[in-house]
Amino acid sequence: MRKKHLSTGAMLVGQALALLYLDPATAGLGGMVDKGQLLAQLDGVVGTDALIRTFNPKRRRYDERVAQETVRKKVAMELRRLAGLGFVELAADEKIRLRPALLRFAEPVRGLSDPAEALAKLVASGEIELTEKTRLDPDEMRAEDDE
């Protein structure tokens, strides 16, 4: 079977969901969050500008409203992709049920060892691939637009 890696956008969304999974507030609610919480988490940790640049890589100048709408759409799309892979479950009313598999996104920083060393081990075992990209690949975006 062919092997591929998750897109930058999916990695961002996955890590934000993992962070939500670790939140006591989410644990108290039985692991249910909504899209608003996810976007707030991304916005709070990554920052609005970085988030917009990440999900709008081809645009040098952008309208803020359109760019934010694009971010919401892309996040929703990545969320569906992660749901397809079994990391989360999409429930009714735009709710997301977080699953323990999300801790895979925290794998390099999970142990007590140095993160760089853990990363190297994971790369060697073929579980992750190192990427240089900090934004979505334009080809990837085109493919997503076609979808």
Partner 1 sequence: MSTQDFSAERIAGAVDSVVQQGLSLALSTSDLCFLVALHLRSTTSQLSSFAEHQLEDVFGHVRDLTTAGDEPLAKSATRAIARLREQRMLSRVDGLGVVRAPEYSLTRLATAIIENLLEEEILTRESLSVLTRSLAIALRDVKSNCEEAESDGDWAEMVIAPLRVSTSDLVRGIERRQRGLDQQQEAFQETIRGLLDADWFGSIDRCQELLDTTSLTLRELNELLLRDSQQLLASLQGILERALSASQEDAASIAHQLIDKLDRIVAWGSARQSAWSEYFQYVHRFLRDVVRLDPSRALTQRLREQLAGTAGRSFALAVAGGESIVLLREAVARPDAPPVSRPRKPRDTPPKQGPVFDADAALREQVRERVEAGAQSLAEVTTDLAAELEGGDQFACAGRVAQSVAEVGKPRPARPRPWVKVGDDLLIEDWNLSCEDQTTGVAS
Binding stretches for partner 1 (CB under 8 A): 1-8, 11-12, 14-16, 18-19, 21-25, 27-31, 45-47, 50, 85, 100, 103-106, 108-110, 115-116, 119, 122-123, 126-134
Q: Closest CB to partner 1 among 94 and 127?
A: 127
Cα 54 to Cα 143: distance, rounded to the nearest angstrom: 16
| Residues 6 or more apart whose Cβ sits within 8 Å of residue 99 | 31, 86, 87, 88, 89
Three-class secondary structure of residue 136 per DSSP: coil
User: How many other CB atoms are found less than 10 A from the CB of residue 95?
Assistant: 14
Cα 103 to Cα 97: distance, rounded to the nearest angstrom: 14
What's the min distance (Å) between Cβ of 39 and partner 1?
14
What's the min distance (Å) between Cβ of 24 and partner 1?
3
Three-class secondary structure of residue 103 per DSSP: helix
Which run of H or E residues covers position 95?
A: strand 95-98
Q: Closest CB to partner 1 among 14 and 67?
A: 14
What's the min distance (Å) between Cβ of 63 and partner 1?
25
Q: Closest CB to partner 1 among 30 and 36?
A: 30
What's the min distance (Å) between Cβ of 68 and partner 1?
19
What's the min distance (Å) between Cβ of 65 and partner 1?
25
Could you tell me if 32 and 91 are in contact, meaning their C-beta atoms sit under 8 angstroms apart?
yes
Q: Which residue has the tokens 């934000």?
A: 16
Q: Closest CB to partner 1 among 63 and 89?
A: 89
